[in-house]
Each structure stands twice: as C-alpha cells, then as structure tokens.
A and B are shown apart, each in its own frame.
Chain A
C-alpha cells in the first residue's frame, strides 16, 4: 500500500516535470504556431488576429497556468491547427498504435526469448554463432529501409500484404491485422535482436550458477533445468528491457508510421511539432509520460512476482 502511494506520487511528479519541460522547450525553440499555420502567403494583419485567437499574446506563465487548470479539469484543449479536441485526436490514433505495439511486442517475445535461451544452451556451437550474427544484423538494419524492402517483397512481388495504410478494426478485422503485419515485423526486428542478446547473456550467466550445477548433479531433466530454473532466474534483465521496449512502442513510431502510412501517434506528434501545435504536443507528451510510468509500474510488479526478495526490501 505504501509502495502504491509512493508510486502514485512519483507518477504525478513525473507528469508535471514532463509537461513543464515540454512547455518550456517549446518556447525556447524559435517558431510561432500562427506563422506556421499561415505560411508565407497570408497578410501580416491576419497574423496578429490569429495570435490573439490562439492566446499566444498572453504572458508565458498565464498560458501555462491556463493549460494546467484545464488539464486538471480533464480538458486537454483544442489543437491549434486542426481545431479539434486534443483528447479526441489522440484517442483516434490509439487503436493503431496500441495494436501495433502489442503485435510487435508479441513477435519480439516469441522470437527472442527462445532464440536467446537456445543460443545460451548451445554456447560456442555453430547455432550460437548464427544467432549472434543474425542479431547483429537485426540491430544494424535501419527499420525505415527494412520497411521499404518488406513492402517491395510482400506487396509488390508476392502481393500478399497491403503496401501500407490501415483498415479500421471495426471495418474488417482480418484486413486490419494484415495491414499491421509488415510494420510490426519492421518494428520488431531491432527489438528481437537486442532482446535475444540480452536473453542469451543473462542465461549464460544463470547457467554458470551453483544451483544449476546442483540441479544437474541431482539429475533434474535438462529441459526443466533450463526453462524452470535458469530462464526464470535470468528473466529480470529481460523484463526490464522488454518493458522499456513496450513503452517506446506505445509512444508511437514516427519512422515506421511514415513508411507504412499508418495513422498512429508518432505521425501525429511529428506534425504537431512541425506546426508548433502546442496543445497537441502537450497532450501527447502527457500521454507518453503516463504510458512510460505505467509500464514501469507493471515492470516493478513483475519484479516482485519474479523475485520474492524485492518484496521484502
């Protein structure tokens, strides 16, 4: 209980810091939302009017307090450029971002943990080298390039998957799934590679522990030894990294969304920054901060489940 309240306090502090930093940074970098909306062509007189309408003529602290007050009342405000509620804009993008994150995280876990464990138990054998080499390549491939390559192969040569774009889950779940396969794969590659390496290293470490030797000498079956004892004990670093990976996936991937023309959170953020759409950027920053803190929270709970020692500290 005490743990929970400490966590909640940390959450609030993190959020306030994240929002304040976003706000301050936005006012340090040059660029005026009204100017960006109007571009080079609008009359200068119009600019003054628009700045007033957007509340940009108010002093900084007033702008910030106004925003904060509204947020506390549950109102994220309106996007300056799109003139729509920020909460709605973020909400619209979530189905894509969340399903993409879940899909590529599943892919990552399903591939990397067995691969890493297998490499560790076959340490020094050819298969180990192959897995290590493959993960090196996976880490090195830029995912925008991989994305284009995947579109080329799967959509143009073999014509089995769509070349980008998204179909709503409600419209056609199968098509929606298909439109996420390639981007999930492109996003997972890098994560599979790094998680495989971590699993392998952690497992190698666990396999040299005394309890494994004890288990071996008392004649435990090999599989049970590997998966029940070694793997379970090497899960801590894996959970840590996987948690971080999942949080970054939930924040949206700008590059993958651009390449696959997916309407996710990353592209929304990129556009919002480009147009200095402050309410929208603030809203997304707030969302990302919440996601990161929540995922860390879940990771912590997993620690407690995995390692009883954490509970007693």
Chain B
C-alpha cells in the first residue's frame, strides 16, 4: 500500500501562502484528530493516556508544569516546603471557578486529595500513600503532611485533579473542572467536544471558542481529513507519513522531543546478558544514528541512559558513551567467550511500528558482530504479560514514557521494584535512588541522578536508543501549539492565525 499512497499524494498539490503572525486572535472552532476514545472522564480513575491528552484542558491540579517540565503554580498560587521536605503548605489562587459556576475552596482541595488517597477510588498510582494527613488551615491555605520526605511529590501532584464534591457521582461522563475548556458532548467513537469556559481564571485564555477531538483511528484517513480542512491538528503523527505533511504547502509539521526513552532491554538473569562485556559489546555494535535515520525517518534524538534530554535539569548527556565500533564489540564478545557467535531472541511489540523497524535493523547490526538474532513479534497484551510482568524474554525493544521527576523515571531499575524487568541489581544504584527521594536540595539531586544515569550506561543495562520526536501536523493557519514533556494536548494556547 505505501507506494500507492505515495502515488496518490504526489498527485495532490496545494497552493497557499502562510500569513504573517500578528499575536493570538480569539475565536474559531478547532478540530483535533485523535485515534482512540478516552476511557473515563473521572480524573482519579482514568488510566488511559488518551484521556489525559484531552482532560488536561478540563481539569487542573494545585500545581502544573511548563514546557520545560518545571513545576509551576496552578490552582495553588504559591507553596512552601518545610526544611525536612515533609510538609507542604499551599495557598489557593483566589477567584477560581468550577465549570458549574461555584468558586473553588480549600474544602474542594481537601475532598479531592482525600479521594485520591482513598483505596476505594482506584487511583492508578501509589504516591498518594506517602500522604500522612491533609489539613485546611483557613479559607485559602491547606497543608499536606507526608510520612517521609518524598522529593517527586509536587511533580506527582500535577495529575491530582481538583474536583467539586457535588459533581463526583457523574464525573465519568460529565466532567466538572477548573480548566480553560468544559465538556459539551462526548459521543463515543465519534468525538469529544469542548467549549471555552468563560469564567476561566487565566486572563485572555483560551483563544478558540470550541475544540472538537475527533476520533479517527486510521492515520491515512486522519491525513486526508487534515488536507481537506476537516481537521486542523493531528498530534503524534506517525513518522512514516510525515513527508506527506511536509510536502503540502498549506500544512506544517512541528517536531519536538517526546520525553520518551526508547530502549532495547535485555534479561540480565539470562545468558549471555548476565555478562557485562556482552552487554557492552551489543552497545558498541549498534549504530544509533543509523537507527534514528532508518527506523524513525530521522525524527529522533540520540540518548545514552534512561532519561530524555527534555528533562534538562537532571539529564546527563551520555549519548556517545558507546560509540559505534564493531571491532571493539567483537573483541568484547571474544573476551566473554562468545567469539564463535551466539544466538538470541529479540521479542518486538507488533503494534509499535517504530520498535519493530528498529528491531529489524538491530538484528542486522548484531549479525555483523556474530550475534544471531531471531525476531519474534508479540502482541502488546502478550508483551505486557509475558515479557514485562513474567520477565520471560531475552531482548526486547520498548518505549518508556518520560516523567517530570528523575526519581519516577529511574526508580524502575532498583533491585526490588516490581517492574524491574531487566533484573538489574546494583547496590550503589539502590542506595542513590533512596537518597534522592529524601534530598530536597536541587544540586544534590542533580548529582545523585547524574550518577544513576552513569551507572546505567556503564553497566550497559540496556541499549538506550533515542527519544523519538513527537510530530504534530497542522494546517498552516493554526498557531500557538506548545510542547510539554508530558502526553497532553494543550489546546488552551492554540489560535487561528489568519
């Protein structure tokens, strides 16, 4: 089919002149294409990324994050942290309204955080267990006491939506938040329609009158809709169709790192991966630049450890720790006793084109140094079950969604963590992670997580390949799109520029 699409779209040429920018303009109806429905609009129960990308515009937490991933005030105007890092005191922003017209109070914050913490709610993360007690101090301040210092607390809090108590029963289908948009209608399988919330607290925002997230599962159909003007934005475009957008004059393509770590993991409990020299040899044998070029069409940023460069504050640049060097790889393999070659299985999640393509290239690269790779395609459900949970595999390629806080990103390699599917065990690493959790000083944390990333690289725990670019295709009159190191579509800042 690809050659046919090539032929079809080459036939399509458009003319159009980009108009010069003159500041954000209000009004208009924005249509965004997304591939799948949200699961539920109850923000404390939702687990799908497809929900978060939309409900970011409906719900807000005490704090939020900016485009650099730094924690910024949101419903809390300011906050103070005790010296030992266990007490957080938040001051609420005045004149904030819920979509039902009622103004926000500390009671709502108390109710929401208690709900997140309650086992019966089914909140998908464990961090609320760190909370010892929540107390409202007066009309505008609230204090959260933690059981022990927990450095990622604020960056976890961004996902704890503040909701009004009276709306809780129907939240799943009738969300009520404080965000720039309110839900008008959700027709499953068709669209989620939002309208601007006139009493929104942030001056001048949002710009457009309505936003419709249309559910279009087929990427080719989504692009046709974009070209026809029926859709204005496609967030997270697949790289293999990006050229179609780049060639159309009335469309544009934005590229930015996604804060995702694509890695080839191996099972350290199995031969030959238990030998560090083999792991290092594999790292030397893989040409990451070629992988980015060949599997991701050049849309990716090379990495060397389990963090993306987006998380600027804590990122350690180890991308060239193992330069491409087949001679060295062979040498290391011979030293480990695999000079005669070895055969391994590489399991790839079939639904993820990028990982499958990368895997095919990796197999060829490893073949060069005498490692015979048998590729096995597994369906995602099987991958999660057999590989990720039961750890029954040799090697696999997967992408981990990046986190705002380095702890959450790096914790997965600690010896006793339930999802440490590499079976990596390292005493110093465990200690550092524990220490980082309690450190409140940024410089100290930077040093700790820098060292953690170094250990992962040095021990060659995996081949850290790239942060694949997040490609956003849009009509050329759409402006104001913002990239965040989290999976959200911020339509509050988007406007039509014409």
Seen from chain A, the residues whose Cβ lies within 8 Å of a Cβ on chain B are: 29-32, 35-46, 49-50, 53, 81-84, 89, 92-93, 145, 148-149, 151-152, 155-156, 159, 162-166, 168, 258-264, 267-268, 271, 274-276
A39 to chain B, nearest CB (A): 7
In the assembled complex, the Cα of A32 lies from the Cα of B49 at a distance in Å of 18
Contact A40 B388, beta carbon cutoff 8 Å: yes
Query: Is the CB of B15 closer than 8 A to any CB of chain A?
Result: no
Q: Per a CB cutoff under 8 Å, which of B188, B224, B401, B419 touches A89?
A: B188
> How far apart are the CA atoms of A164 and B224 in the complex, in Å?
10
What's the Cα separation between A207 and B221 when bound, in Å? 46
Residue of A nearest to B222 (CB): A261
Q: Interface code B1-17, partner A: CB below 8 Å = 1, 0 otherwise?
A: 10011001000100000
Residues A261 and B215 in contact in the complex (CB < 8 Å), given A31-B384, A40-B401: yes
Question: Which of A36, A261, A268 is close to B216, meaning CB atoms less than 8 Å apart?
Answer: A261
Q: Which residues of A contact B45 (CB under 8 A)?
A: 83
Contacts A89-B188, A258-B218; is A39 near B384 (CB within 8 Å)? Answer: yes
Taking the nearest CB of chain B, how far is it from the CB of A73, in angstroms? 24
The verdict on B443 contacting chain A, using a C-beta distance below 8 Å, is no
Asked whether, in the complex, the Cβ of B216 is within 8 Å of the Cβ of A164, the reply is yes
Given contacts A44-B419, A46-B126, A83-B172, contact A259 B119 (CB under 8 A): no
Please indicate the chain B residues that have their CB under 8 angstroms from the CB of A274 in the complex: 380-381
Contact across chains for A35 and B389 when beta carbons are under 8 A apart: yes
Out of A31, A45, A50, A165, name the residue touching B381 (CB < 8 Å): A31
**B125 within 8 Å of A by Cβ?**
yes
3 residue pairs, one from A and one from B, having the closest CB atoms: A263-B189, A31-B381, A44-B418
Residue of B45, B214, B225, B386 ringed by the most chain A CB atoms within 10 A: B225
Q: How far is the CA of A268 from the CA of B217 in the complex (A)?
A: 12
B382 within 8 Å of A (CB atoms): yes
Kindly list chain B residues whose C-beta atoms are within 8 Å of the C-beta of A261. Answer: 190, 214-218, 221
Min CB gap B38→A, angstroms: 9
Q: How far does the alpha carbon of A295 sit from the alpha carbon of B216 in the complex, in Å?
A: 31
- Is B47's CB under 8 angstroms from A37's CB? yes
B353 to chain A, nearest CB (A): 16
B230 near A162 (CB under 8 angstroms)? yes
Interfacial chain A residues near B126, Cβ < 8 Å: 43, 45-46
Q: Does B27 contact A (CB under 8 A)?
A: no
B residues less than 8 Å from A271 (CB atoms): 36-37
In the complex, the answer to whether B221 meets A260 with C-beta atoms within 8 Å is yes
* Distance (whole angstroms) from the CB of A276 to the closest CB of chain B: 6
> In the complex, which residues of chain A have a beta carbon less than 8 angstroms from the beta carbon of B37?
82, 271
The answer to whether A38 and B215 touch (CB under 8 A), given A152-B224, A155-B224, is no
**Complex Cα spacing A158 to B188, Å:** 29
Contacts of A93 in B (CB 8 A): 189
Contacts of A165 in B (CB 8 A): 190-191, 214, 216, 230
Residues of B within 8 A of A43 (CB): 124-126, 418
Residue B182 lies at the interface, judged by CB distance under 8 Å to chain A: no
On chain A, the residues within 8 Å of B4 by CB distance are 145
Q: Once the chains bind, are B379 and A31 in contact (CB under 8 Å)?
A: yes
Residue on A with the closest CB to B38? A82
- Residues of A within 8 Å of B401, CB to CB, are 40-41
Task: Assess whether A148 is in contact with B221, with CB atoms less than 8 Å apart.
Answer: yes
B381/A36 in contact, CB under 8 A: yes
- Which residues in B have their C-beta under 8 angstroms from that of A81? 39, 48
New contact pairs (19) apart from A168-B187, A261-B216, A263-B215, CB-CB < 8 Å: A30-B381, A31-B379, A35-B384, A36-B380, A39-B384, A40-B388, A43-B124, A43-B125, A45-B126, A83-B39, A83-B45, A83-B172, A145-B1, A149-B8, A163-B224, A164-B224, A268-B189, A274-B381, A275-B381
Total number of B residues with any Cβ neighbor in A under 8 Å: 52
Q: Does B243 contact A (CB under 8 A)?
A: no
Considering the complex, give the chain B residue whose CB is closest to the CB of A82: B39
CA distance A187 to B190 in the complex (A): 20
Query: Does B190 contact A166, Cβ atoms closer than 8 Å?
Result: yes
Cβ contact within 8 Å between B188 and A30: no
In the complex formed, the residue of A with least CB distance to B227 is A156
Q: Pick the residue among A53, A92, A152 that contacts B188 (CB under 8 A).
A: A92
| Chain B 344-356 interface 0/1 with A at a Cβ cutoff of 8 Å (1 = within) | 0000000000000
Report yes or no: A50 in contact with B227, Cβ–Cβ below 8 A: no
**B220 contacts A by Cβ under 8 Å:** yes
* Complex Cα–Cα for A49 and B134 (A): 24
Expressed in whole angstroms, the Cα–Cα distance for A9 and B227 within the complex equals: 54
Q: A43-B125, A49-B122 are in contact. Are A155 and B228 (CB under 8 A)?
A: yes
Pairwise interchain contact A32-B385, C-beta atoms closer than 8 A: yes
B116 to chain A, nearest CB (A): 12
**B224 close to A148 (CB less than 8 A):** yes
**Distance of A257 from chain B, by nearest CB (Å):** 8
B461 at interface by CB-CB < 8 Å: no
Determine the chain A residues whose CB is within 8 A of the CB of B36 once the complex forms.
271
Tell which of A38, A163, A260, A276 has the most Cβ of chain B within 10 Å.
A163
**Shortest CB–CB separation between residue B156 and chain A, in angstroms?**
11
The 8 Å CB contact of A151, one of B215, B224, B388, is B224
Closest Cβ of chain A: how far from B390's Cβ, in Å?
9
CB distance from B15 to the nearest CB of A (A): 15
Question: Can you give 12 contacting A-B residue pairs, CB < 8 Å?
Answer: A39-B384, A40-B398, A41-B400, A82-B188, A148-B8, A148-B220, A148-B224, A155-B228, A163-B225, A168-B187, A259-B220, A274-B380
A152's nearest neighbour on chain B, judged by CB, is B8
Q: How far is the CA of A30 from the CA of B382 in the complex (A)?
A: 5
In the bound complex, residues from chain A placing their C-beta under 8 Å from that of B418 are 43-45
User: Is there an interface contact between A36 and B189, defined as CB atoms closer than 8 Å?
Assistant: no
**Closest CB in chain A relative to B247 CB, distance in Å:** 15
CA distance A275 to B36 in the complex (A): 12
Q: Knowing A39-B47, A271-B36, say if A31 contacts B382 (CB, 8 Å).
A: yes
Residues of chain B within 8 A (CB-CB) of A268 are 189
Q: Shortest distance in angstroms between B165's beta carbon and chain A's nearest beta carbon? A: 20
Closest partner residue, chain B, to A35 (CB atom): B384
> How far apart are the CA atoms of A145 and B188 in the complex, in Å?
25
Nearest-Cβ distance from residue A61 to partner chain B, whole angstroms: 21
